[in-house]
């Protein structure tokens, strides 16, 4: 009796999802349905998948993934996806409980798999630093992971996915070359980074900078600094000759402005874990990195 009731409910639900949700097989034209957690992961998935996939991006642009609260519609989007692409490395703490509660059957693919994660000083984050995308060389690994997962799920289009990946990896290598030529304008003694949280570790390691300190003293934007921690950071900024504090959507701007005012340095906006809407200054991952590198070079050279 109970099973019959469930069957009836399923039969009732299926047509309504297809007709109004845009997620049914007809609505996607038989395309491979995939989901990406962040807008940055989504952009890279879209570069590899092109028109062959039907992509849903879970977090709206402007979202800070460290404190993302899933909405009711997110459960349906997850349940619909054949592949769920996450950044991984501990970024999406909400994801595993949500997958379990929705009974999603899609394959979870962490695009950062295979990247040697940096440790986070002073953090109990067991997995390491999640901000892998701040080095385009890591995003080459993402691209290879995405192409492999799409090809495995949809072998008929494997050649397309591989070809798209080759093109995108070439643009990531160009980006890496461009970043090296840009940061060459910064004198070595100025290559000191302070950000709102530990977002620039991979960038610093790849391009010869030191991450001197962070406002939150943490990998995540969720922690708030004590007065003593703030005073210690300001002392460090004064003593080491740090020239700017980089602030993103992750932390309140007022705190960064106060540190900048107290120490006489600049407070400079960078993008952290989200793209902008199309037409904005960071509408793709490549634009996101170019924007951030220009901001860093402008502030430190």
- Of 43 and 129, nearer to Zn ion (C-beta) is 129
- Of 199 and 255, nearer to Zn ion (C-beta) is 199
Residue nearest to Zn ion as judged by C-beta position:
199
**What does residue 292 show for φ and ψ, rounded to 5 degrees?**
-65, -40
Nearest approach, Cβ of 63 to Zn ion (angstroms)?
11
- Of 221 and 263, nearer to Zn ion (C-beta) is 221
CA angle (75 as vertex; 72, 80 as ends), nearest 5: 135
- Of 150 and 270, nearer to Zn ion (C-beta) is 270
Nearest approach, Cβ of 286 to Zn ion (angstroms)?
20
- Of 51 and 124, nearer to Zn ion (C-beta) is 124
Nearest approach, Cβ of 199 to Zn ion (angstroms)?
5
- Please choose, out of 8-16, 21-29, 74-82, 194-202, the segment that lies near Zn ion by the rule CB under 5 A: 194-202
Classify 192 as helix, strand or coil: strand
Nearest approach, Cβ of 248 to Zn ion (angstroms)?
8
CA angle (197 as vertex; 255, 66 as ends), nearest 5: 105
Binders of Zn ion in range 252-271 (CB under 5 A): none
Q: Report the distance separating Cα 178 and Cα 293, nearest Å.
A: 10
- Of 132 and 164, nearer to Zn ion (C-beta) is 132
**What does residue 233 show for φ and ψ, rounded to 5 degrees?**
-65, -45
Nearest approach, Cβ of 131 to Zn ion (angstroms)?
5
Q: Report the distance separating Cα 226 and Cα 247, nearest Å.
A: 18
CA angle (96 as vertex; 40, 283 as ends), nearest 5: 10
Binders of Zn ion in range 128-157 (CB under 5 A): none
Residues in contact with Zn ion, total (CB under 5 A)? Answer: 1
Smallest Cα–Cα separation from 133: which of 223, 36, 49?
A: 36
Classify 55 as helix, strand or coil: strand
**CA atoms within 13 A of residue 95's CA, in its CB half-sphere:** 24
Classify 288 as helix, strand or coil: helix
- Of 100 and 124, nearer to Zn ion (C-beta) is 124
Binders of Zn ion in range 195-224 (CB under 5 A): 199
Nearest approach, Cβ of 237 to Zn ion (angstroms)?
20
- What count of other Cβ atoms lies within 10 Å of the Cβ of residue 9? 10
Nearest approach, Cβ of 139 to Zn ion (angstroms)?
16
* Chain-centre distance for alpha carbon 215: 20
Interface residues with Zn ion (CB under 5 A) are 199
């Amino acid at each position: 009796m109970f099973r019959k009731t469930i069957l009836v409910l399923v039969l009732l639900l299926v047509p309504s999802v297809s007709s109004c949700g845009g997620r049914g097989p007809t609505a996607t034209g038989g395309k491979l349905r995939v989901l990406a957690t962040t807008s940055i992961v989504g952009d890279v998935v879209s570069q590899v998948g092109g028109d062959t996939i039907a992509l849903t991006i879970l977090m709206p642009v402007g979202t800070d993934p460290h404190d993302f609260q899933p909405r009711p519609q997110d459960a349906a989007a997850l349940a619909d996806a054949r592949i769920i692409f996450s950044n991984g490395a501990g970024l999406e703490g909400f994801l595993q409980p949500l997958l379990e509660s929705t009974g999603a059957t899609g394959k979870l693919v962490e695009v950062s798999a295979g990247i040697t994660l940096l440790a986070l000083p002073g953090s109990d984050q067991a997995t390491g630093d999640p901000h892998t995308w701040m080095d385009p060389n890591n995003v080459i690994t993402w691209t290879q992971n995405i192409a492999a997962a799409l090809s495995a799920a949809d072998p008929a289009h494997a050649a397309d996915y591989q070809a798209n990946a080759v093109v995108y990896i070439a643009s990531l290598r160009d980006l890496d070359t461009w970043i090296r030529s840009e940061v060459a304008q910064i004198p070595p003694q100025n290559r000191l980074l302070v950000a709102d949280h530990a977002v620039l570790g991979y960038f610093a390691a790849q391009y010869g900078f030191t991450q001197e300190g962070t406002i939150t003293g943490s990998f995540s934007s969720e922690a708030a600094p004590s007065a003593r921690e703030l005073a210690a950071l300001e002392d460090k900024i004064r003593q080491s000759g740090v020239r700017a504090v980089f602030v993103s959507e992750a932390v309140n701007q007022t705190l960064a402005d106060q540190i900048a005012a107290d120490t006489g340095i600049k407070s400079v906006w960078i993008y952290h874990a989200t793209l902008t809407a199309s037409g904005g200054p960071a509408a793709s991952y490549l634009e996101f990195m170019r924007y951030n590198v220009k901001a860093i070079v402008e502030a430190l050279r």
